[in-house]
Amino acid sequence: QSALTQPPSASGSPGQSVTISCTGTSSDVGGYNYVSWYQQHPGKAPKLMISEVSKRPSGVPDRFSGAKSGNTASLTVSGLQPEDEADYYCSSFAGTNNYVFGTGTKVTVL
């Protein structure tokens, strides 16, 4: 199972929006509405930000939103804040008891 494809980096100034893509295939992202997104600060454990494509867990700011079209999912962070600077990973169910993560995107707040 190949990793989902994410851009290595993305950036924006405080208050701006940034969108990260996550491209898979019809066997994973395109085949199921089970895409999740994780935020990871250096030296810390990942934190769930979005589940089931667009659901935001309790406590996650509504600046974070998710969507999916075909084989590509996306995470948008609106109104960027300094604390949003982190690595972001997507993940998808890939059928037959299998899961796959994305390659990761480093978000920089300029």
One residue of 32, 54, 63, 78 binding another protein per CB under 8 A: 32
Is residue 83 involved in binding another protein (CB under 8 A)? no
Measured over all CA atoms, what is the biggest interatomic distance in the chain, rounded to whole angstroms?
A: 42
Name the 3-class secondary structure at 45.
Answer: coil
One residue of 36, 39, 65, 71 binding another protein per CB under 8 A: 36
Which residues make beta-bridge pairs with 76?
Answer: 19, 65
One residue of 12, 24, 66, 104 binding another protein per CB under 8 A: 104
CA angle (2 as vertex; 33, 107 as ends), nearest 5: 70
Is residue 21 involved in binding another protein (CB under 8 A)? no
Is residue 31 involved in binding another protein (CB under 8 A)? no
> Which of 103, 86, 82, 89 has its CA nearest to residue 16?
82
State which residue, 13 or 97, has the beta carbon closest to another protein.
Answer: 97
How many C-beta atoms surround the C-beta of residue 19 within 10 A? 14
Residues that bind another protein (CB under 8 A): 1, 3, 32, 34, 36, 38, 40, 45-48, 51-52, 57, 89, 91-93, 97-104
